[in-house]
Structure formats: structure tokens, C-alpha cells
Amino acid sequence: MDVPPDIRSVTEAMPPLPFRAAVRVVSATLALLLYAGCREKAPPAGITVLLEAPPDSLDDRFALTAHGQRLAQLISPGLLTFDDASSPVPQLAESFRDVSATVVEFVLRPGLTFHDGTALTAEDVKATYDSLRDPALGSPKRERYEPLERVEVVDARTVRFHLKRPYAPLLAELSAAILPAERAGPQGIEAQATHPVGAGPFRFESWPDEEHLTLTPFAGWHGGTPALSRLTFRVVRDETTRVLELLKGRADLVVNGVSPAVLPALREAPHLRVVTKPGTGFTYVGINLREGPLADVRVRQALCHLIDVGPLVEHKLHGLAEPASSMLPRAHWAFTATPACGYSPEEAGRLLDAAGYPDPDGPGGQPRLAFTFKTSTDRFRRAVALVLKEQLARGGVAIEVRGLEFGTFFDDVRRGRFELFTLKWAAVMEPDLLRGAFHSGNIPGPENHWGGFNRGALKDPALDRMLDAATQAPREERRALYAQAQQELDAVLPVIPLWHESSVAVVSSRLVDFEPSAHGLLTPLARAREVTPSSGAGRTP
């Protein structure tokens, strides 16, 4: 049969067979690559935890960020840790006791070993705390150990801390990571920073870049080998991406990294569950007491009466917070219930009248008072500030909300360049924080490099005495002193307490028995179990 000329010309124009075969192979390869690229990547083996920011260091002596400290605790825990009531409980220590007002004795658990197989002894504890106090090491936490005079090794399992003077808050600092003695000195910084070794439930495997960190379970952990095959931490800064990763099943855990408003979408996913626990974070309105109307306690009380925390907790935080009456959360061992101001616009009006700020022209007209309210550019904080603006306006107090870039905002707060602001303490554990935040010796200034936490400049000698006494008293006495201090703070109102945010964990069905810590710690991972989809049973390590 004759081939039509046009078809023949096309056929003749076609390249020889080997070329066509090559084109097919290349096309097939491209298609395969495209398929591979479009296909969902399998999640890494084990459990994947998403973090909002990378750790600054895995050496607890240098870690200052929450993520750095929490990850360091997984690798290298301390003698003590804190339970949900913020009470110190033994971790590597088996027990501890006060030998005298200035001597605390710790007995280590038997058979403790580091990840490299060497035994953990009292010498390691001494070397760790000596290094923390050594100026040559340059730990930013050195100042915290100023009351510590020396560390004495009694025997291989017993160590004593000798203090210069009675100082109860030191116990909170004895949760520092215990390192092998040979790594504790300045010569071990590099090794500990790049390949940390500790005696924690998870051992370091790799940290190729700041976005990824892998740990594996440690069989020698005194609490038993963690039932997770591997722990991968991945930094995902954007919240929407974190949520999508959870929904797609590419991540198993996010702790305090999802806004309350987004949680309903996650609750609907069958493979996810949202677990909450009352938390210790404290959100408050800071007040500048140095001058002006806010120096008058009646004005501060009036502002407190105008703020209705209930709707904020119910709608903005979706119930995942508890209205605060004090810096200490309700579950804290030193908490004492105080009357708190409560929402009462009528009482606020009466107080403002008494303070000399009558309403000039009735409701809705000219304000009685006007203030600036500084906040960071964080969306949630700005939104809260706008609600507070609306609530205060109803009582005749006008506020201008200024959202500033965090560095500028925080510098203004430290240097007292504010009238009102809002901030949050990430976790309130040691009640001595009250002394940091409200003692007149802690007003920021050049002498403390603007580092004091008493940013509103409260000067209350009676409160100072209570807080000073609490640092040297036994625990029961401390509780009574802090109760008095909380009542005094309730009366003078240097800050307006808003709420304690809950600890919220979004957990995949591959991770069971994970219960979040009130402080947002990651240590509950040591007790959690990994479930493989096929078996549906907990993995046996």
C-alpha cells in the first residue's frame, strides 16, 4: 500500500529509533520523578515533634530559650525536677534533705549511667556545679549560684551543697543538667555543644542543622527505656504550616504551639487529639507606678475593676486558661486565694471619682483618663489589647494601643518608657519570682543593666521584708510569707493579673500516654508510647 506523501514525509522526518527510545526513557523518568515529587513524603520513623523555634543550645548551662532548656532536659536531666504544683521532686536524685539551714544533701539513685556508659557519681555533680560557678566557663546562669559556697562529695552517691547563708530558692536551681566530669570544664564546651552526653531518657543522635534534631531512647534511663523508637524534632515557624503538618499526619506532637482558635479544626481530625492541663504561664497588664495617675492605687484598682477577664478567657482563649488573681497559679504549692478585684464598673467609677477623675460629660463622651498601652506586634497580644481598650473605654478610660516590634517594645518596658503594657511570664515555678518582680531592689536601672524585673517600680518596704524573709525560711514558713505577700500585692496592685494559660498538646494517634506538663516541658515523652498503625499496640523497646 502506498503511503500518502504527507505521512511519508512525517515518517521520514522522524528521528532514528534509538533517539525515540531515549525520548521515551527520559519521559518515563520525568513522569516518575514528577510522581515522586507530588506524592506525600513518608514521615520519618518514630515520633516527630514540631517546635516553633530552634533551641539556642543543647547544653543546659548555656540554654536560655524555653526550647533549648526543654530539649536539654531530655538529654541531660538534673538532680531535681518540678511537678505540676511546682514542688521540687527527685529526678537523678533518689532523695534530698536539709542537713542544716545552710546544707542540703542529695543521694543519687543507684546504678545511674551516662549515655556513653560511664557511671554517674557525686563527682560528676560536683564538677557540674563547680563549672556553673566558674567564670572561665562563662555560663549566663552563674549569678544564680552566688549563694552556693561549695559542693562536697560525701561518697559516690552522696553530695552536699553548702550555702553562704540560708537561701531556700536555691533548690530551684538544682535542676541543672548533670554532665560527665570530663565534659563539665571549659575544655568540654565544644564536645557538649555538638554531641551532648547526659543521663536522660533520650540520647543525642544528630543535629545536622538548626531545623532538625534526632534523639533515640536510652536503655539505661532509670525510669525504664522510653517506648519510642526515635524522636525527631523539626522547627516549623509558621503556625498554619504546623497545623497542616499535624493534619497530614507528618507530625505527632506540638506542645503550646497552636492558637486556641485553631484547635476546633484539629479536634475534628480523627487521628489527632487535643490534651490540655492547667498551666503556669502568667499573663498580666503591667503598670508604671513611677508618676501620674497610675501612681494612685485607686486608679489602678479602677482599671482592674473595668477589665472583664471572663469573656476573654471564654472566647479568645476558648476556655484554655484560668482567670488569675496572683502571679502564682492555683495549683502552685505557695498559692493563696486572695479576694482579687473582680469586674465591677460601678466600683471603678466610684474609685475614679474619689481619685479626682470624675466623668466630665457622662457616659460615652470625653474620657476621665487617657493612657498609652504598649504591646508587641504579636497578633494575639494585639487582639487582647484591643478588647481591653474597648472594656476600659466603657468605664471612661481611653487607651491608645501601640503595637511595637518586640525588641523596641521590650526595651521600652525595661527602661520604664510605658504607662500600661501586657506581657506573659512563660512558667512560674519558684515563688521567689515574686521577689524578682516586685522587690524594690529589682527596679530596672543602670546599676543592674536594666535587667530588674520590677518594671513598674513598686516600692513597698513591707512587701520587701516579706519577700526577703521568704528566701531564708523553711517551706511551711515560706508558704505563710508568700500568702502575706500575695495579699499585699492584691492591695497595692502593681500589675493587673489576667490569666494563667493552659498547657495544650496536639497529639497524633501514633503517640499514646502523653500527658502535657503544666510547665510545657517535654519530659512526659519519656513516659509516652509509640503505636504502629499495623499493630495498634504499644511498641516494645
Partner 1 sequence: MSGARRFRLQSWGARFGLAVACLWVFTALFAPWLSPHPPDAIDLTRELARPGPGHLLGTGENGIDVLTHVLHGARVSLEVSFFAVLLSGVLGITLGGIAGYAGGLVDEGLMRLVDVLLAFPGILLALFITSVLGPSLTNVVFALSFTGWTGYARLTRGQVLTLRERDYVQAARALGSGPGRILVRHLLPNAAGPLLVQATFALPGAIVAEASLSFLGLGVPPGTPSWGALVDQGTQYLLVAPHVALFPGIALAVTVLGFNLLGDALRDAMDPRHQGP
Q: How far is the CB of 247 from partner 1 (least distance, A)?
A: 8
Question: Using the rule CB under 8 A, which residue among 95, 100, 206, 377 binds partner 1?
Answer: 377
Q: How far is the CB of 390 from partner 1 (least distance, A)?
A: 5
Q: How far is the CB of 497 from partner 1 (least distance, A)?
A: 20
Question: Using the rule CB under 8 A, which residue among 158, 276, 408, 472 binds partner 1?
Answer: 408
Residue 53 as a binder of partner 1 (CB under 8 A): the answer is: no
Q: How far is the CB of 31 from partner 1 (least distance, A)?
A: 32
> First CA to last CA across the chain, in angstroms?
74
Question: Using the rule CB under 8 A, which residue among 43, 403, 416, 538 binds partner 1?
Answer: 403
Grid cell at residue 338: 486572695
Based on CB atoms, which residue is closest to partner 1, 276 or 408? 408
Q: How far is the CB of 465 from partner 1 (least distance, A)?
A: 40
Based on CB atoms, which residue is closest to partner 1, 146 or 390? 390
Residue 417 as a binder of partner 1 (CB under 8 A): the answer is: no
Residue 160 as a binder of partner 1 (CB under 8 A): the answer is: no
Question: Using the rule CB under 8 A, which residue among 8, 237, 248, 379 binds partner 1?
Answer: 379
Whole-angstrom Cα distance, residue 434 to residue 470? Answer: 10
Q: In whole angstroms, how far apart are CA 310 and each of 117, 183, 385, 517?
A: 53, 51, 15, 24
Name which of 295, 285, 329 is nearest 427 in CA terms.
329
Question: Using the rule CB under 8 A, which residue among 116, 390, 411, 477 binds partner 1?
Answer: 390
Name the one range near partner 1 by CB under 8 A: 63-71, 187-195, 403-411, 488-496. 403-411
Question: Using the rule CB under 8 A, which residue among 290, 316, 424, 459 binds partner 1?
Answer: 316
Residue 370 as a binder of partner 1 (CB under 8 A): the answer is: no
Q: Which residues pair with 233 in a beta bridge?
A: 49, 213
Residue 491: partners with Cβ closer than 8 Å, 6 or more residues away: 297
Kindly report the backbone phi and psi dihedral angles of residue 285, in degrees, each rounded to the nearest multiple of 5, phi listed first. Answer: -105, 120
Whole-angstrom Cα distance, residue 381 to residue 177? Answer: 33
Based on CB atoms, which residue is closest to partner 1, 385 or 521? 385
Grid cell at residue 377: 506586634
462 three-class SS: helix
Residue 262 as a binder of partner 1 (CB under 8 A): the answer is: yes
Whole-angstrom Cα distance, residue 357 to residue 396? Answer: 10
Based on CB atoms, which residue is closest to partner 1, 186 or 264? 264
Name which of 307, 283, 228 is nearest 498 in CA terms.
283
Q: Which residue has the cell 526513557?
A: 25
By CB under 8 A, the residues from 221 to 260 that bind partner 1 are: 239-240, 243-244, 259
Is residue 418 within 8 Å of 432, Cβ to Cβ? no
Q: How far is the CB of 313 from partner 1 (least distance, A)?
A: 10
Grid cell at residue 491: 492591695
Based on CB atoms, which residue is closest to partner 1, 220 or 323? 323
Whole-angstrom Cα distance, residue 309 to residue 325? Answer: 11
Kindly report the backbone phi and psi dihedral angles of residue 148, in degrees, each rounded to the nearest multiple of 5, phi listed first. Answer: -85, 125
Q: Which residue has the cell 514558713?
A: 477
Whole-angstrom Cα distance, residue 23 to residue 35? Answer: 18
Based on CB atoms, which residue is closest to partner 1, 400 or 477? 400
In the chain, how long is the greatest CA-to-CA distance? 114
- By rule CB under 8 A, what string of x and - marks binding of each residue 266-305 to partner 1? ----------------------------------------
Question: Using the rule CB under 8 A, which residue among 401, 480, 483, 492 binds partner 1?
Answer: 401
Question: Using the rule CB under 8 A, which residue among 44, 292, 311, 364 binds partner 1?
Answer: 311
Whole-angstrom Cα distance, residue 84 to residue 332? Answer: 8
DSSP 120: P
Residue 383 as a binder of partner 1 (CB under 8 A): the answer is: yes
By CB under 8 A, the residues from 184 to 223 that bind partner 1 are: none
DSSP 113: B
Which residues of this chain interact with partner 1, rule CB under 8 A?
Answer: 239-240, 243-244, 259, 261-262, 264-265, 311-312, 314-316, 375, 377, 379, 382-383, 385-387, 389-390, 400-405, 408
